[in-house]
Structure 1
Amino acid sequence: MSFWNREIETLPEKELKKLQLERLKRVVEVVYNKVPHYRKKFEEAGVKPSDIKTLEDIVKLPFTTKEDLFVDYPYGLLAVPKEEVIRLHTSSGTTGKPKAIFFTKKDIDFGAELIARCLVMSGTTKGDVLQNSMTYGLFTGAFIMHYGAEKVGVMVIPAGPGNTERQIELMKTFGTTCFHMTPSYALYVASVILEKGIDPRKDLKIKRAYLGAEPYSEETRKKIEDMLGIDVYNCYGLSEMGGPGVGFECVYKNGLHIWEDAFLAEIINPQTGEPVKEGEIGELILTSLNREAMPLIRYRTRDLTYFINEPCPCGRIHRRISRILGRSDDMFIVRGVNIFPQQIEAVLMSIKGVAQNYQIVLENYDEMIVKVEIDRDFFDGRVERLLKLREEIIEKLRKTILVRPKVELLEPGTLPVSEGKAKRVIDKRTL
């Protein structure tokens, strides 16, 4: 088992918690004294830095929401002088303005350090070739992954997204051994590789893929692994916490290790704000423990997950969460039933004959249409075969989501292809 920083990755739990508490106290002092917005929130909550004596005392602190990022926009949450900021990244915001996330040099370096840990614990080593097909620009994912891979000694191809023909040519020409993409785009690239008659096991050197930036199901992971003959690793991060190195799977792929020297994680009931019981699904709350420019306290990610408490065979002490099961604000209601897009994806990707792309269309308040691309060989004139597949999809969805949707079967290439985050749900009820 390889480690990038064995000392910190295997730090005994007692010492790790001691380090967390030291960093929590420090970051609370910093935001209280240097960020007027946080001082005001703390005062309204009746709490002072001196009240934080144990890790459990974090519940005394107020939550930070995405709305807080637009108060005194754009520099209102800076905890350092503006002159110390060397980088701006953004994440989309519901107000139409982007969420501005700032970095000092230490923030960039530490983010790369976390990625180095992630890559090494999933098997990447010096000599690998990483094709980075995330968007380079205001999005954090591409840059932080790039820097972390270089720190390990990996050769990085800064491909960016799109131009699928070129992506495949780069893989063939330069011997790409791993790639970083959104899962929806990875599905599409895999399908094009196979359509071209390329045998990924013989003609390419790809061994693993790192997928993130959007929730996806275990069934989607399995589909990509089967199509390309590779290992797919789930990576989790968000711009507000510094990028993609917040949580990552090790070679055992049994949950994502949260780097607890960098983040203090909680899981709460998204309706009540109270902690859930161990092992229960809830909303992930993150406090950044080691960021300089813009540390956030108890940030509500809206991502749904649960803690995995069994020891990991890899030997790392940092606790794990399940793969992201969805977002609390992604849920939609049809005929009184709460539904998450990932539930539908999980069913579709498990059915033989379903291709890589789908779309959920909501019309009125009781109608849901699932548009599904299927393998091209189903369009061979045998209508009964199509009807049988359509009924299988409808019935399996009904059993899972308790609603019988309309299903439209489409030829591959009918639906728009996303090179970044996929837009799976079209809600015409709000248009």
Structure 2
Amino acid sequence: MIHNMEYETMPREALEAIQLRRLQSTLEKVYATVPFYRRKFQEVGITPADIKSLRDLRRLPFTYKQDLRDNYPYGMFAVPMDNVVRIHASSGTTGKPTVVGYTARDILTWSELMARALAAGGASRGDIIHNAYGYGLFTGGLGIHYGAERLGASVIPISGGNTKRQIMIMKDFAPTILTCTPSYALHLAEVAREVGVDFKDLHFKSGIFGAEPWSEQMREEIERKLHLNALDIYGLSEVIGPGVSIECLEAKKGLHIFEDHFIPEIIDPVTGENLPHGEKGELVFTSITKEAFPIIRYRTRDVTSLNAEPCICGRTHIRMHRVSGRTDDMLIIRGVNVFPSQIESVLMETEGVEPHYQLVVDREDNLDILTVLVEVGELLFSDEVRRLQQLEKAIAKNIKEYLGVSAKVKLVEPKSIARSEGKAVRVIDNRKI
């Protein structure tokens, strides 16, 4: 279902005209109201008047996460605080969190985008949405919530945690759409099995999963265990929150970016040069409708590519490939770039292992050592030691052939890897780099 037919199916020429007009307006605003941007533009000798085409966008300087931290908490806001009705912040694993603000109009925009996203995932006015994303400073829970209400659907604001109670709610309230992280979706399936509930007896038709990279193999695992259509959604607090892009139910081949609100670019993460459609690189976003917290050429650190080919669903907005990892959580093991999702792809093709894993990196005698911890099922773990050792060797061989990096593989007993109600902790890097 297409929520906003006018904008989501707009001819390319008309869409780009809207983008340019909104971009120019945004640049004028940040130049006048955000000292950081005015200084950055002046440093490269550019004013908003110099941006006469969408191609000129690449002349502007990048914005980095550190810039947001340097202007903590409100230095990047483009409106007075009495116009800000909502404040969110990133979880921030290091240093101070990044703080973002919303005007009342920003909240309406966000709600509209999330309504579009939910509709693309198969939701409509008659659906009940079980929202297990976290509520609070994290944008996930409230983003989904407001989008569901804008769509006219019913929303269960269950948030994360208390998983057995969530299973009870699923049985009793009969929700039809599930929203959470993909790793938590698998945890829900695991707990449901423990308490004797089969997802095929529930009422879910679609699940909208995001906030962490996940593979096609994990999609297949989720769909098999939860008996629903699993769709990838993308967003980040610095741009607006969830609702920047989403897969459509019809194709499930790339996430449609809502280009009437965000302009995407793909750059070489080392040189900063723009890359053509189809080439993989770092995703960069410029927001063109945000009032409180507009952002210019923000380097997301997410690795993906863009696809401008028409989609069978009828949407004309460009698609991004699912995020394969991040340039800043990418592991470099003896000169080889390794993303957790690549390891996951190998594991998900291995019979007998569970979709719960962790990568541990150590440094011994100046050499990097990668250890892959992966859970196995109850039956396999109780099998003879020799068979487990053979499986470890087989997985290590597959990782070597697929990624070109040697890894130690250690099979561990079921439920020994810590579960997460939010983003799964996939990497433990013990190196002092």
User: Does the alignment reach a TM-score above 0.5?
Assistant: yes
CA distance in 1, matches of 2:391, 2:50: 60
Question: In structure 2, which of residues 230, 233, 236 is the aligned counterpart of residue 232 of structure 1?
Answer: 230
Question: In structure 1, which of residues 404, 414, 417 is the aligned counterpart of residue 416 of structure 2?
Answer: 414
Residues 157, 94 of structure 1: CA spacing in aligned structure 2 closer, same or farther, 3 A cutoff?
closer
SS at match of 1:330: coil
1:133-172 aligned within 5 A: 133-172=132-171
**1:14, distance to aligned residue in structure 2 (A):** 0.4
For residues 338-365 of structure 1, the C-alpha deviation after alignment (integer angstroms, 9 at most, x for no partner) is: 2111111111122111112111111114
Q: Which residue of 1 aligns with 2:273?
A: 274
Gaps of 5+ in 2: none
Task: Name which of structure 1's ranges 337-346 and 67-76 shifts more when overlaid on structure 2.
Answer: 67-76
CA distance in 2, matches of 1:73, 1:380: 52
Q: Which residue of 2 aligns with 1:193?
A: 192
Q: Which residue of 2 aligns with 1:59?
A: 58
Q: Which residue of 1 aligns with 2:398?
A: 396
Contact 1:267 1:276 in 2 (8 A): yes
CA distance in 1, matches of 2:76, 2:247: 31
Contact 2:359 2:370 in 1 (8 A): yes
For residues 43-101 of structure 1, the C-alpha deviation after alignment (integer angstroms, 9 at most, x for no partner) is: 00110011010000001111100111123321111111111001110013465211110
1:44-193 aligned within 5 A: 44-93=43-92, 95-193=94-192
Contact 1:302 1:328 in 2 (8 A): yes
Contact 2:347 2:355 in 1 (8 A): no
Task: Name which of structure 1's ranges 33-42 and 116-125 shifts more when overlaid on structure 2.
Answer: 116-125
Q: Counterpart amino acid of 1:348?
A: L
1:337-352 aligned within 5 A: 337-352=336-351
Contact 1:35 1:79 in 2 (8 A): yes
CA distance in 1, matches of 2:23, 2:128: 37
SS at match of 1:366: strand
1:220-259 aligned within 5 A: 220-251=218-249, 252-259=251-258
CA distance in 1, matches of 2:98, 2:382: 49
**1:387, distance to aligned residue in structure 2 (A):** 2.3
SS at match of 1:14: helix
Question: In structure 2, which of residues 365, 370, 373 is the aligned counterpart of residue 371 of structure 1?
Answer: 373
Give every structure 1 segment of 4 or more consecutive aligned residues whose post-TM-superposition deviation is greater than 4 Å. none
Contact 2:121 2:208 in 1 (8 A): no
CA distance in 1, matches of 2:430, 2:382: 33
CA distance in 2, matches of 1:298, 1:327: 17
SS at match of 1:412: coil
SS at match of 1:404: coil
SS at match of 1:171: helix
CA distance in 2, matches of 1:220, 1:325: 13
CA distance in 1, matches of 2:94, 2:311: 41
Q: Which residue of 2 aligns with 1:205?
A: 203
Question: In structure 2, which of residues 417, 423, 426 is the aligned counterpart of residue 424 of structure 1?
Answer: 426
Contact 2:175 2:203 in 1 (8 A): yes
CA distance in 2, matches of 1:72, 1:392: 50
For residues 248-302 of structure 1, the C-alpha deviation after alignment (integer angstroms, 9 at most, x for no partner) is: 0111111000000000110000000001122100111000010000100000000
Gaps of 5+ in 1: none
CA distance in 1, matches of 2:321, 2:207: 18
Q: Counterpart amino acid of 1:423?
A: V
CA distance in 2, matches of 1:75, 1:381: 57
Task: Name which of structure 1's ranges 141-150 and 182-191 shifts more when overlaid on structure 2.
Answer: 182-191
SS at match of 1:240: coil
Q: Counterpart amino acid of 2:425?
A: K
Contact 1:191 1:356 in 2 (8 A): no
Contact 2:282 2:302 in 1 (8 A): yes
CA distance in 2, matches of 1:78, 1:115: 23
Aligned length: 429
SS at match of 2:207: strand
CA distance in 2, matches of 1:273, 1:160: 38
CA distance in 1, matches of 2:344, 2:375: 12
SS at match of 2:238: helix
Q: Which residue of 2 aligns with 1:15?
A: 14
Residues 191, 44 of structure 1: CA spacing in aligned structure 2 closer, same or farther, 3 A cutoff?
same
For residues 407-428 of structure 1, the C-alpha deviation after alignment (integer angstroms, 9 at most, x for no partner) is: 1111111111111111111111
SS at match of 2:155: strand
Q: Which residue of 2 aligns with 1:289?
A: 288
1:284-363 aligned within 5 A: 284-363=283-362
SS at match of 1:114: helix
